[in-house]
A and B are shown apart, each in its own frame.
Chain A
């Protein structure tokens, strides 16, 4: 078979006694657009795109859109939901999940550092998550005055006070977080 035979030839040879409509019959008024079969083809889209339209004499082929057709592909809805979550995660560059524990709390959580843009936001997030008060960071005194002190384990395995290094450096080196009781965290502040 001639390898260069194009899809255009196909339409010349097939007997199209019925009007060929690739567009979805407009069942629900929504602009559900159908990609033309030819533009979907990686190889021949450039040569096929316009000629097919003139063949048909009507512009039945709407430009391809990202809009999903109902029930297509045939994947069950709850599977789609799960995949949606994973898709969002991968779109965000697979997130940056670190484990977060708080002394005395029964729960260990996971937190995506990419959700935050600054220390302020992170602290706020931690306060909400663990229902505690951490307070403000000051370079000189650390988190003096608050019951809970946020610390993190860095790439080298050392436990550091959250807030000491610039934010960008922090999120690239933070492996896990631990909210310590301020009495236990005394030693850390001194490494600033």
Chain B
């Protein structure tokens, strides 16, 4: 490639372009812009401040720093979602370390780092803390490998820290008092502090002092070691909170050496002071008699997460009837169909619903069923996203939802009993899911379950034109299903399939599309090593990884591959693949 001097006029044009592109924030728009020509690509690279990398192995860190010179914010995603369900070996990869060192050298002005499903060490956190002087926001979602020590370094060094969010991370329990590391001599810039996933107790005295000197704090999510008494002390110090994770919301050990006898806290007043709370979560060890304490703020809530609390229908009703503005609701199925009916009655503006199982075993009594789903579909017409775990379902209820909730973008139905048909008709669940893809024209994410035949997949391929993410588990029919999906779903980005009899010929039918995808995951299916080799041969820029979930797996599967995980990469196969991962 010969270097070409940019003429004066061209340079002016590029500068003008840059001034326009600064306003472009959508990454899809930016990607389109960068494809116009080299000049536009350069201008776009100069003006991009927020970078999103959906698969950390799709590109090497150095390529990123070569292209983008002025990043303020980076969002990196590592392992695929099925890693959350123990389907991936522990040391598979997704290390943040190479990234942090390269970025430390290139981006002095980096302010924000968000990581999802990556391996982050205390050292990595120390590098962040020491390299980026104006560092403001750290968000770690489903990450692991670090402990409180790393958090302590961040707290100590990052004087401009605004956001520190730990979301469903596995934090090493090293009993280090990181809360005390925040500078104690001045007010902080903290706007968000979330550590609800932390398993070990934090120093409450230090936390209280920290909250007291953080006037900008809007979002605070406490872990289960913070008792309700302690919570009340914090909320009275921070009445400006808009997002609260309540910690235990129950009685645990309280430290009150001045008072030998136990005193009930003043429930009525404490939450009444927090007029601004719109998002409520926590309840990690709920004492039900305290639930009425939240009544004063229910009317303002747009988001409520009760999914860590065993709340029954009656208890829920007392709460939910106040929550007219609710848009997001996460719950356990302990509320039963009756509770879901109450939700449908009260929350007409609901956009997102998640119902998690209290008992994840397959023969359990299911407290929620098609009745609850139907009720929600009738009451919450604006529903956009649903995740629903149940033991039994009918096509009729799913079809009804497809008709009643045309705005659905995310439909994830998990019938816990594998291969379960419609229990009323005995039919497979094909028609239900078919109706969803057909009637919900905005659908971008779909997870299927229950007894399914090729017909379901032919519907998905035929109507699911906007579907970007598809999750399949224990689907019962043959290869053609995969073919329908890969040939029909033109926008498919992420495909995760487990325990379904899809094989090599199904896999081959996606060769034209794999380069457009973020990843394909096939585990415990019927793909052979030859089939995978063929794909690797035909698509050289695809990294084709083959591995077993568990190194000690006995029992050969013959020619079948245990797990196939493949993704495109600009920089070839990764160098950090462990021994048991074979890259074809």
Contact = CB atoms under 8 A, between A and B. Distances in A.
B251 interface: yes
A70 B86 contact: yes
B373 to A, nearest CB: 16
B555 interface: yes
Given A43-B424, A83-B359, A34 B557 contact: no
Nearest to A176: B262
A1 B396 CA distance: 13
A166 interface: no
A21 B382 CA distance: 40
Interface in B341-368: 356-363
Interface in B548-577: 548-550, 553-555, 557, 560, 562
Contact of A75 (B255, B262, B360, B498): B360
Interface in B169-199: 170, 197
Nearest to B414: A73
A40 B555 contact: no
Contact of A6 (B418, B426, B473): B426
A26 B418 contact: no
Interface string A34-52: 1111001111100000000
Interface in A96-142: 99, 101, 103-104, 106-110
Interface stretch (A11-19, A143-151, A155-163): A11-19
B262 A37 contact: no
Given A14-B477, A41-B420, A75 B425 contact: no
B266 interface: no
A186 interface: no
Nearest to B169: A78
Given A16-B478, A75-B356, A106-B257, A35 B419 contact: yes
Nearest to A4: B426
B524 A27 contact: yes
B428 interface: yes
Nearest to A79: B356
B459 to A, nearest CB: 15
Nearest to B471: A74
**Residue among A6, A21, A37, A104 having the largest count of chain B Cβ atoms under 10 Å:** A37
Contacts of A14: 453-454, 477
A89 B56 CA distance: 41
Contacts of A25: 524, 526, 557, 560
Contacts of B197: 78
**Residue among A30, A41, A44, A104 having the largest count of chain B Cβ atoms under 10 Å:** A41
B420 A107 contact: no
A22 B85 contact: no
Nearest to A76: B84
Nearest to B81: A74
A74 B425 contact: no
Given A26-B557, A107-B254, A108-B254, A35 B417 contact: yes
Contacts of A80: 360
A18 B479 contact: yes
Contact of B358 (A43, A83, A108): A83
Given A21-B501, A26-B555, A28-B555, A43 B426 contact: yes
A7 interface: yes
A103 B142 CA distance: 43
A41 B284 CA distance: 35
Contact of B553 (A27, A79, A104): A27
B555 A27 contact: yes
A103 B260 contact: yes
Nearest to B447: A74
A93 interface: no
B53 interface: no
Contacts of B362: 35, 40, 64, 68
A87 B262 CA distance: 29
B360 A73 contact: yes
Interface in B248-295: 251-257, 260-262, 284
A86 B283 CA distance: 13
B310 interface: yes
Interface string B497-514: 011010100000000000
A74 B85 contact: yes
Contact of A42 (B256, B359, B423, B549): B423
Given A16-B478, A77-B86, A36 B251 contact: no
A73 B357 contact: yes
A20 interface: yes
A36 B451 CA distance: 10
Contacts of A106: 254-257
Given A79-B356, A99-B262, A108-B262, A72 B426 contact: no
B261 A101 contact: yes
Contacts of B407: none
B458 interface: no
A187 interface: no
Interface in B408-430: 414, 416-421, 423-428
B357 A78 contact: no
Nearest to B554: A29
Nearest to B499: A24
A82 interface: yes
B559 to A, nearest CB: 11
**Residue among B257, B425, B555 having the largest count of chain A Cβ atoms under 10 Å:** B425
Given A18-B479, A83-B360, A108 B392 contact: no
A90 interface: yes
B69 to A, nearest CB: 38
B361 A27 contact: no
Given A35-B417, A106-B254, 6 more contacts: A28-B554, A71-B87, A71-B498, A75-B85, A79-B307, A108-B251
Closest 3 CB pairs of A and B: A37-B419, A71-B85, A29-B555
22 contacts: A1-B425, A7-B421, A14-B453, A17-B478, A18-B501, A22-B419, A25-B557, A25-B560, A27-B549, A27-B562, A28-B550, A28-B553, A37-B419, A40-B362, A42-B392, A70-B85, A74-B414, A78-B168, A78-B197, A82-B308, A101-B262, A106-B255
Interface of B: 82, 84-87, 142, 168, 170, 197, 251-257, 260-262, 284, 307-308, 310, 332, 356-363, 389, 392, 414, 416-421, 423-428, 451, 453-454, 471, 473-474, 476-479, 498-499, 501, 503, 524, 526, 548-550, 553-555, 557, 560, 562
